[in-house]
């Protein structure tokens, strides 16, 4: 399923700080911690907790968030369906990166082991 230019533009302009609390709520409702969420985000983006807080405080868009990220070289191992889209078929890099993050948050909330989420075995 291809994403539309409108869909890609909407993701690019979304404010990370507006989505982040939903990530926290989603994982905490399932018994995971904010620290585990930060571990997953740091694995994907290279952002430590301090940098993450700066980006949230600056209210950066997903476009800026991922432009500043140093994407994990194993991010391509994140596959599957999220929000109705098969990640490996998404052509727009930014949309794919946002869906990588969504997929990792979903896996964390579903109780997947951390080493599996971080593609370590």
pTM: 0.95
**What's the pLDDT at 121?**
61
Cβ of 110: how many Cβ atoms within 10 Å? Answer: 12
Q: Which residues contact 13 (CB under 8 A, 6 or more apart)?
A: 61, 62, 63
Any domain includes 13: yes
> pLDDT tens-digit profile of 28-54?
999 999 999 999 999 999 999 999 999
Q: Is residue 119 part of a domain?
A: no
Residue 117 to residues 29, 68, 89, Cα–Cα distance (Å): 18, 22, 20
- How much is the average pLDDT of 10-33? 97
Count the domains in the chain: 1
Residues 75 and 97: their CA atoms lie apart, in Å, by 8
In a domain, 10, yes or no: yes
With respect to residue 58, please indicate whether it lies within any of the assigned structural domains.
Answer: yes
Q: Return the CATH number at 66.
A: 1.10.8.290
Say if 121 falls within a structural domain.
no
**What residue numbers bound the domain in which 80 lies?**
5-112
Residue 23 resides in a domain: yes
The mean pLDDT value for 13-39 works out to 98
Asked whether residue 1 carries a pLDDT value surpassing 80, the answer given is: no
- pLDDT, tens digit, for every residue of 74-117? 999 999 999 899 999 999 999 999 999 999 999 999 999 999 99
Could you tell me the CA-to-CA distances from 65 to 19, 36, 49, 57, 112 in Å, in that order? Answer: 12, 19, 14, 12, 25
| Beta strands per DSSP E along the chain | 81-82, 85-86
Torsion of CA 70, 74, 80, 82, to 10 degrees: -20
């Amino acid at each position: 399923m291809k994403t539309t230019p409108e869909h890609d533009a909407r993701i690019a302009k979304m404010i990370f700080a507006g989505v982040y609390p939903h990530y926290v709520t989603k994982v905490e409702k399932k018994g995971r911690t904010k620290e585990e969420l930060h571990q997953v985000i740091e694995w994907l983006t290279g952002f430590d907790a301090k940098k993450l807080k700066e980006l949230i405080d600056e209210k950066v868009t997903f476009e800026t968030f991922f432009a500043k990220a140093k994407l994990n070289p194993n991010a391509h191992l994140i596959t599957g369906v999220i929000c109705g889209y098969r990640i490996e078929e998404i052509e727009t890099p930014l949309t794919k990166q946002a869906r990588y993050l969504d997929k990792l948050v979903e896996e964390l909330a579903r109780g997947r082991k951390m080493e599996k989420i971080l593609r370590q075995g």
